[in-house]
Amino acid sequence: MDKTKQNLSNEHARDQSDNRSVAGLTTRSDNYEAFKRLLQQTQRTLTIFSHNLDAQLYNTDEIMALIQRLALHNKHANIKILLKDCQQLAQNGHQIIELARRLTSKIQIYQLAKDFTEYHECFIIADTNQIIFRPHADRFEGTVSHHDPLQVRTKLALFEQAWALSEPSAEMRRLHL
């Protein structure tokens, strides 16, 4: 085998071993299980960029218990949620709203700035190395990676840019009667 083919073969093998922690997602169930596993492993930060936090994926007692555990069991926990449609979240009675109202120093929900509403992707980042990524938020096809610092840095940069231009969700204000 000549050196060029051998180098390409070695690079391909390295790429394959680096990607062994990447798995494909195709169904709602795949996404739910991936998110649940991701939450179970999260130590400090959870970053969510979503259109509306699909209730069937994220509004379950099991998922809310894992988010609450993260928020309460780490004094440095930080959960940021950036949504395209916060109003729908409130109208559907999503449990995350009440949890965020009770844990204001740990969970923040922002309405996505208009400059970013054309983004069709969604992603969830845990700590600094794990990510669930779906290129089209309205579909379940995507990937979960338990070690992809490059993609995490890229998506975190997008998130932070959008966060800086976005505002706290009006739906988060508690009505006192």
pLDDT the model gives residue 170: 82
pTM, full prediction: 0.85
How many domains does the structure of the chain reveal? 1
Structure tokens at 147: 């070690």
pLDDT the model gives residue 171: 73
Residue 14 lies in a domain: no
- Give residue-wise pLDDT tens across range 24-65: 999 999 999 999 999 999 999 999 999 989 888 899 999 999
Domain span including residue 39:
24-171
Residue 176 lies in a domain: no
Q: What is the mean pLDDT of residues 80-89?
A: 89
Residue 46 lies in a domain: yes
Residues 62, 45: Cα–Cα separation, whole Å: 19
- Give residue-wise pLDDT tens across range 110-161: 999 999 989 999 999 999 899 999 999 999 999 999 999 999 999 999 999 9
Residues 87, 52: Cα–Cα separation, whole Å: 9
